[in-house]
Amino acid sequence: MTRWSIRSRLIVSFLLLIVVSLSLLGGYILWYFYQHNVDTLTNNLVTNARIIEHLIKDSMAGPMEKASLDARIKETTSNSNIRITIIDNNGNVLADSWENPTLMENHSDRSEIAAALAGGSGQSIRYSTTLAQNSLYVAIPIVRNSEILGVVRIASTLAQVDAAFSQIRSTLLAAILFTSLLSVALGIKLARNFTAPLEKITRAARRMAGGQLSEKVYINTGDELQLLAHTLNNLSSSLEDKMAQIVAETNKLELILHNMDNAVILLDRYGRITTANKMASEIFDLTPAMLGKHNLHVIGSSFFDQAVHEAIAQNKHQVIDLKTNFDNQKRVFQVFLAPVTAASNDIIRLLAVFHDITALQEINDRQAEFIANASHELSTPLTSIKGFAETLLDGAMNEPELRIKFINIILTEAERMHRLVKDLLQLTKLDSDEYRRQVNLEPVPIMPLITKVAQELKPQAQRKKINVEIAPSSDCIMALAHPDWLKQVLVNLIDNGLKYTPDGGHVHLSCWKEKNQVMIMVKDSGVGIPTQDLPLIFERFYRVDRARNRSAGGTGLGLSIVKFIIDMLGGRIDVQSQVDIGTTFVITLPLADKS
């Protein structure tokens, strides 16, 4: 804060100006007045001295005349308040109107006497101890026939001049005092007039600085202050606009950040978290109290921290894949790190955008796994075919028994490959979005479909003497499905039932309505599935007993195709099984309106 306000400075300046100028003027007037009075008195004294010189000139000729001189002088000036002193050319006092000359000392050392004895006229102002006053001394030489005979000195007190001087001085001092007081009062008034608009502008500027940008100040002085107020109003208006723009932009940004499905975190140069959006807070369990903490405490990954430091040190953006495990949820993020620089090119923040690629990563992993499994499944029969073909060429061809056996094996393996490729193609087809879009769901009568599939698989059942029973049910039960897909489901399930049921066993097929759903059951009295394998049987290429199931001709894809189709139809498949007793699959599908 300033110690002196403009107003007090103006008042003090005013006062100083008035006091200094009046003092100078008063001093000059006083000096001039005193000088003028002294000059006038001096001239009078000189005139008187000339008259006296003229009168006594001749009396200075002889000793007799000199002796009578004192009496004459005393007589002449008896009624006057001026003092006349006659001095001879040696400085001895011959006559004095007030004193006895014989008692007076030699006067040749007095400055005015010395000047007169030198031929000029002398003048001096001294304090007279005789009169106890300041006195003016004027001396002129007494010249006769060009010879200086002595000196006439006239002295007069300066009492009148001093009295007049002190009177004028008092008057002047009073005038200065009065004028100063007047100027202070005037100064206060003028300063107030001058500073009032300034104070108004200052108050308005303070309120604007406090955020009240709609504040306006109106001044009508017609000068620079009015211009200043106008400029201030313009400034606040444009600031208000800019602020509104900034607030709108910030809100927009906050809205985007808030609703983004990517986690966004802002870190400072030291790797501490300064800001986080809603998604980041959810993923990393970030509470507002944790803002300002180091990323290691929040994200807990030294790999991420290292990437942060590298991005800051090199001032270059970085992309890393980060695996996290928060709340027992494993996730993979592709993290984009970008340094945020200020105008001075200094790094002030680091932006980290976390793109959740868990699903993508899973798809990639599953695809890689699928390709590996498919290659493995294909390579097994191929190796077998290659091996038996080579053995045949190596000579086994010549032995009819072996030849037929090996060729049969080659045929079986080729059929297995064929089935595998067929299943793979089917999966690929079902996986294709384009194919799925083309297919429309329609009401499919279930019983005729079950009968048809059982009929198609009859030779297989007969081979194993398996009794396929179809429970009687209404023909008009219809599911909202796709006939080809649903047929594939039934083929796979009934085929499995026949495959994994020993000779002479049973396969039971039934269908019924339950609420708005169609239930289809495929039940067998087969080998069953161990409980621990049940959750895995719908996985691609999963087989309970690899060696046995491969020999049964399975590809490991049948149930995964079933699950895939049922999911697409919006249904559900449940399985119950007991080893050596049998397995039951129950499909639930939406009921078609017509039924």
Are the CB atoms for 43 and 123 separated by under 8 Å? no
Q: Which is nearer to ligand ADP, 75 or 580 (by Cβ)?
A: 580
* Span interacting with ligand ADP, options 83-91, 363-371, 409-417, 519-527, rule CB under 6 A: 519-527
Q: CB of 561: closest distance to ligand ADP in angstroms?
A: 8
Q: Which is nearer to ligand ADP, 125 or 491 (by Cβ)?
A: 491
Contacts of residue 313, Cβ cutoff 8 Å, sequence gap at least 6: none
Q: Which is nearer to ligand ADP, 277 or 577 (by Cβ)?
A: 577
111-140 burial string, b = 16+ CB within 10 Å, else e?
Answer: ebbbbbbeeebbbbeeebeebeeebbbbbb
* Span interacting with ligand ADP, options 23-31, 185-193, 479-487, 524-532, rule CB under 6 A: 524-532
Q: Which is nearer to ligand ADP, 339 or 558 (by Cβ)?
A: 558
* Span interacting with ligand ADP, options 171-179, 294-302, 324-332, 522-530, rule CB under 6 A: 522-530
537 binds ligand ADP, rule: CB under 6 A:
yes
What track of x and - describes contact with ligand ADP for positions 286 through 315 (by CB under 6 A)? ------------------------------
583 binds ligand ADP, rule: CB under 6 A:
yes
- Whole-number Cα distances in Å, 566 to 353, 482, 574: 38, 10, 11
Q: Which is nearer to ligand ADP, 81 or 428 (by Cβ)?
A: 428
Q: What single string gives the DSSP state of each residue in 572-588? A: EEEEEEETTTEEEEEEE
Q: Which is nearer to ligand ADP, 331 or 416 (by Cβ)?
A: 416
Stretch 450-469 residues interacting with ligand ADP (CB under 6 A): none
CA distance 280 to 260: 10
Are the CB atoms for 206 and 21 separated by under 8 Å? no
Q: How many residues bind ligand ADP (CB under 6 A)?
A: 22
Are the CB atoms for 97 and 83 separated by under 8 Å? yes
Dihedrals phi, psi of 218, to nearest 5 degrees:
-115, 125
529 binds ligand ADP, rule: CB under 6 A:
yes
Alpha helices in 136-223 (DSSP H): 159-209
Name which of 316, 273, 319 is nearest 292 in CA terms: 273
Select the residue interacting with ligand ADP from 352, 500, 518, 525 (CB under 6 A).
500
Q: CB of 463: closest distance to ligand ADP in angstroms?
A: 17
Select the residue interacting with ligand ADP from 273, 527, 569, 591 (CB under 6 A).
527
Q: CB of 467: closest distance to ligand ADP in angstroms?
A: 15
Q: CB of 544: closest distance to ligand ADP in angstroms?
A: 3
544 binds ligand ADP, rule: CB under 6 A:
yes
Select the residue interacting with ligand ADP from 267, 559, 566, 569 (CB under 6 A).
559
Stretch 324-343 residues interacting with ligand ADP (CB under 6 A): none
CA distance 396 to 430: 43
Q: Which is nearer to ligand ADP, 236 or 496 (by Cβ)?
A: 496
CA distance 75 to 2: 77
Name which of 294, 272, 276 is nearest 286 in CA terms: 276
Indicate the residue type of 442: E
Q: Which is nearer to ligand ADP, 319 or 471 (by Cβ)?
A: 471
Stretch 466-495 residues interacting with ligand ADP (CB under 6 A): 492
Q: Which is nearer to ligand ADP, 381 or 556 (by Cβ)?
A: 556
Name which of 25, 310, 13, 312 is nearest 191 in CA terms: 13
543 binds ligand ADP, rule: CB under 6 A:
yes
Provide the sign of the torsion angle of the four alpha carbons 471, 474, 475, 476, taken in this order: negative
CA distance 238 to 246: 12
Strand order through the sheet with 133-144? 93-96, 83-88, 147-157, 133-144, 122-128
524 binds ligand ADP, rule: CB under 6 A:
yes
Select the residue interacting with ligand ADP from 549, 564, 565, 569 (CB under 6 A).
549
* Span interacting with ligand ADP, options 177-185, 269-277, 319-327, 554-562, rule CB under 6 A: 554-562
Q: CB of 376: closest distance to ligand ADP in angstroms?
A: 14
Q: Which is nearer to ligand ADP, 191 or 559 (by Cβ)?
A: 559
Which position's Cβ is nearest ligand ADP? 554
Name which of 404, 403, 381 is nearest 393 in CA terms: 403
Q: CB of 465: closest distance to ligand ADP in angstroms?
A: 17
Are the CB atoms for 127 and 155 separated by under 8 Å? no
- Whole-number Cα distances in Å, 233 to 145, 193, 216, 241, 242: 95, 22, 6, 12, 14
Q: CB of 560: closest distance to ligand ADP in angstroms?
A: 6
Q: Which is nearer to ligand ADP, 361 or 426 (by Cβ)?
A: 426
Q: Which is nearer to ligand ADP, 217 or 522 (by Cβ)?
A: 522
Strand order through the sheet with 347-356? 273-276, 263-267, 347-356, 329-341, 318-326
* Span interacting with ligand ADP, options 204-212, 375-383, 542-550, 566-574, rule CB under 6 A: 542-550
- Distance from chain centroid for Cα 372: 53
497 binds ligand ADP, rule: CB under 6 A:
yes
Give the residues lining the site for ligand ADP (CB under 6 A): 492, 496-497, 500, 524, 526-529, 537, 542-544, 549, 554-560, 583
